[in-house]
Structure 1
Amino acid sequence: MDKQRDAFLDYLTYQKRYSPLTVSSYQREINDFIAYVRQEAYQDFTECDYALIRSYLVALNKRHLSHASINHKLSSLRSFFKFLRRQGYVEDNPFMLVSALKTGERNPDFLFLDDMLGLLDSIHTDSDLGMRNKAMLEMMYASGLRVSEVVNLTLDHVDLVHQILFIRGKGNKDRYVPFHDEAKVWLVDYLEGARHELMATTHQSHNIVFVNKHGKQLTNRGVEDIVNRCMRDYDPTRKIHPHTIRHSFATHLLDAGMDIRVVQELLGHASLSTTQIYTHVTQEKLIEVYNKACPRQALERLEEKKKSVD
């Protein structure tokens, strides 16, 4: 099992070219599952079936993990078994039989950091449209853009020297949003190559940044389709909206310790209460860490372990 895990991690590193952070996340998730498989006295992955997966889900729930965290593990293992099946190591992928757990509709949809980076890393850039997709999603995540802000972004509103976008958002509220070096690299490559080629196909001449295959301005629906296709290639079991990327941008900044009022300005929210909905992930993490470290919880786990030994 360790060799098959390592083969998968090499595949992610050298063929998919995932970031070290993403690969490390996959490794943690798979190692956790391998430990459980061995605990249940299974010898290899070919013996893993639906019954084992269900018992694994029960074990994860007993660890008081959130549904979002469990779904993240399921997504990683689903991809892993997809690889094993393609390589002929297993005949079936039992994780395809398990649906994602409901996370509730109260909180905005988001991707964990390693999933977000994994999605970006998975975009193929061997075509003009692929280069556009890569540049567009990198900018959406780097600056927390709304769909309407993406399709209406113009060249004169992009300051490549200072790495800042001028954005006219909802209610004609203007704001300046920075973008990082990685996003700049992909944007410059797209502007200097793919965009020019796409516009030349139908002799277009305008200053819209992101264009469709005919060199014309993208629509909101066009951006939604692109995001969905990219997500389907990364994880076919999940469907996201472009706003998910904006939600992830805000959530990750707050998790990293950025002041909520700064995040409010970056997002262009008129009210701080709108920005506060993104603090749910930080709270989830606090609860998760507390449950793992709480002395009473630790004692209960110790007692359970003693009972299983007896």
Structure 2
Amino acid sequence: MLQLVNEFLTFLQVEKGLSKNTLDSYGRDLKKYIEFLKSQKILSFSETNRTIIISYFLQLQKKGHASSTISRNLASIRSFYQFLVRERYLDKDPTINLESPKLEKRLPKVLSIKEVDLLLEQPDIKKPLGLRDKAMLELLYATGIRVTELITLDITDVELDMGYIKCLGKGSKERIVPIGSEAVKFLEQYILTERKKLIKKREEKALFVNHHGYRLTRQGFWKIIKRYAKRAKINKQITPHTLRHSFATHLLENGADLRSVQELLGHADISTTQIYTHITKKRLREVYSKTHPRA
């Protein structure tokens, strides 16, 4: 199957003259599709059909991929099957009349700046776990990192003097993320005082640990942020990524460019970042109405 994909990519390069980035995109999409087929014990494209292809797109949807990503995958797979039929590797194209699964366009839930302030004020920094929670929440809002990235941070990933953290994102890609003065302040307090009291073993690498002294889990963080949201009387639906979404939205609302936000969030594809522009459009319309002389 990989050999056929490589033939297809060569065809696109030689006959269509597509750019390296476009070819890489086709290659990634088709290799992921092959991985799915193999997971279904399918070892030849001749064994595939419309139902199997739809199942693949439903799996992408379930994993939370953006509708734009799913549409791009469909375009890649459709072009590939057309090639297979044209080159007589297949008799029929199973993607004919196949539409991308109808996806509800769900915009991320975000907090206002006032709500973020309320949430960040909830932890009791006089207590070890309270200071830990304050440092975590401040760090999340300061960097926009994923919750998984937060809980996998090691103490050696933090550079307080330089004001950044080293973060391991999706695909094991490392990126450097700057952190603001407030997050630095509470991180420093937590590391120098309460973390030492919480850890059970001196060789513990985890930056954030639970009350047992071991690395905090995603579920543990989920309970923490829900508790503080309830205490702050925030009625919006809170998810582990609420502060990440709020971080991106507030940056764009205050003039940050989309490419910079993409880099900070660690998005491989800018189309993933573009969802936040939908949230800020309403705000932009309000600003335009107030500031343009002929609005």
Q: Normalised by the shorter chain, which TM-score bucket?
A: 0.5 to 0.7
The structure with the largest helix share of the pair is 1
SS at match of 1:166: strand
Shift of 1:148: 0.8
1:220 is aligned to 218
Number of aligned residue pairs: 192
Task: Deviation per CA, 1:150-201: give whole Å up to 9, x if none.
Answer: 11000111111111111110111111100011100000101111111111xx
Check conservation: 2:155, 2:207, Cα contact below 8 A. Answer: yes
Runs of 4+ in 1 over 4 A off after TM superposition: 289-297
User: Cα–Cα, structure 1 residues 146 and 263, in superposed 2: closer, same or farther, change >3 Å?
Assistant: same
Q: Map 1:55-66 onto structure 2 (within 5 A).
A: none
* 2:284 corresponds to which of 283, 286, 299: 286
- Is the Cα–Cα contact under 8 Å of residues 232 and 239 in structure 1 kept in the other structure? no
Give the aligned residue type for 1:218.
Answer: L
Q: Could you tell me the TM-score, scaled by structure 2's length?
A: 0.61
**Bigger Cα Rg:** 2
* Residue 157 (structure 1) aligns with: 157
Match of residue 196 from structure 1: 196
* Matched residue, 1:115: 115
Measured in 2, the distance between the counterparts of 1:137 and 1:157 equals 17
Q: Provide closer, same or farther for how the CA distance between residues 154 and 263 of structure 1 changes in structure 2, counting only shifts above 3 A.
A: same
Q: CA deviation at 1:123?
A: 2.4
Point out where structure 2 has 5 or more consecutive residues left out of the alignment: 1-103
Taking every aligned residue pair, what percent have the same amino acid on both sides? Answer: 44
Any stretches of 5+ residues in structure 1 without a counterpart?
1-103, 298-310
Name the structure 1 match of 2:206.
Answer: 208
Do the aligned residues in 2 keep the contact of 1:228 with 1:239 (CA within 8 Å)?
A: no
- The aligned counterpart of 1:247 is 245
Which residue pairs with 1:170 in the alignment? Answer: 170
Are 1:233 and 2:231 counterparts?
yes
Q: Tell me if the contact between 1:231 and 1:239 (Cα under 8 Å) persists in the aligned partners.
A: no
Q: CA RMSD in A?
A: 2.2
When normalised by structure 1's length, the TM-score is 0.58
Is the Cα–Cα contact under 8 Å of residues 208 and 217 in structure 1 kept in the other structure? Answer: yes
Quote the residue 1:272 is aligned against.
270
User: Residues 272 and 203 (structure 1 numbering): CA distance in 2 closer, same or farther, change over 3 Å?
Assistant: closer
Q: Residues of 1 paired with 2:235 and 2:260: CA distance?
A: 34
Q: 1:10-21 counterparts in 2 under 5 A?
A: none
